[in-house]
Structure 1
């Protein structure tokens, strides 16, 4: 069975429409790093670093937005005609990640924690800065988005040129 891939222009249009729809329905910009911080804040109530903004409880739209990301992926996988299975196959990244499944899992958890820390430090994630802040033409968000993508480009080139 072949995999259908959306055209880049169509996927970009859908993402842009989602950003507008989310702002229209919720009255606040989309973004998941605040939800991540709020989730950590619910677990570690004594660490004030994670308590951001007005949302500090379970009735938090950004927290539900964050929960919806993996939930939507799970629903999509379960509705797929192909059988679903857990895999640690990362394509071209297999050359630079550890070879054992446990090593990959540890590396990815560390990377995810660093992404969360960086997003909290920057005041938003790539969704918040590049998509929402970019759509609003917010200068700090445009700069942050440019730095995010340029650092990802440089890091990828360094990793794959070194191997």
Structure 2
């Protein structure tokens, strides 16, 4: 079930979560920073990070359950997955890009753009250009579809 309001509702919830996190504890909702900090931050900083990540993971599971999306079942995801070496390579490239860009799409695209950060604008423009190039190459360059 992919209703037109689904994307708007999801965007509103992401925005609300980002505003609440900034307003309540003064932190930016950049997932890569939250994830990295969950492993290396001081003891007092880890609890909210793990709670945020657990809520993020649980909400994805709830949406899949609520919408009963058959193509998103664990069996379908494993059946349609790329080979493990490609998934690991993609993960490493995303991690490298996140470190190189000093943040991820949520940090720059949601929080940084809302704060009118020039660095985030530059990062989002690079993200979008790379996404468009990748889409073009996959669709027209003979890569996996």
TM bucket normalised to smaller: 0.7 to 0.9
Q: Deviations over 1:15-38 (max 9, x none)?
A: 333322221122111111013323
Q: Structure 1 unaligned segments of length 5 or more: list them.
A: 43-50, 95-100
CA distance in 1, matches of 2:32, 2:121: 17
Q: Structure 2 unaligned segments of length 5 or more: list them.
A: none
Q: 1:117 to 1:69 in 2, by over 3 A?
A: farther
Contact 1:33 1:125 in 2 (8 A): yes
Matches within 5 A, 1:88-99: 88=77
RMSD between aligned residues: 2.9
CA distance in 2, matches of 1:118, 1:36: 15
Q: 1:68 to 1:112 in 2, by over 3 A?
A: farther
Aligned to 1:24: 23
Contact 2:105 2:124 in 1 (8 A): yes
Instruction: Give TM-score, length-normalised by structure 1.
Output: 0.68
Q: 1:79 to 1:9 in 2, by over 3 A?
A: closer
Aligned to 1:116: 95
Q: 1:85 to 1:14 in 2, by over 3 A?
A: closer
Q: 1:140 to 1:102 in 2, by over 3 A?
A: closer
Q: 1:138 to 1:114 in 2, by over 3 A?
A: same
Q: 1:159 to 1:79 in 2, by over 3 A?
A: closer
Aligned to 2:3: 5
Of Structure 1 and Structure 2, which has the larger fraction of its residues in helix?
2
CA distance in 1, matches of 2:54, 2:107: 16
CA distance in 2, matches of 1:158, 1:26: 42
Instruction: Give TM-score, length-normalised by structure 2.
Output: 0.75
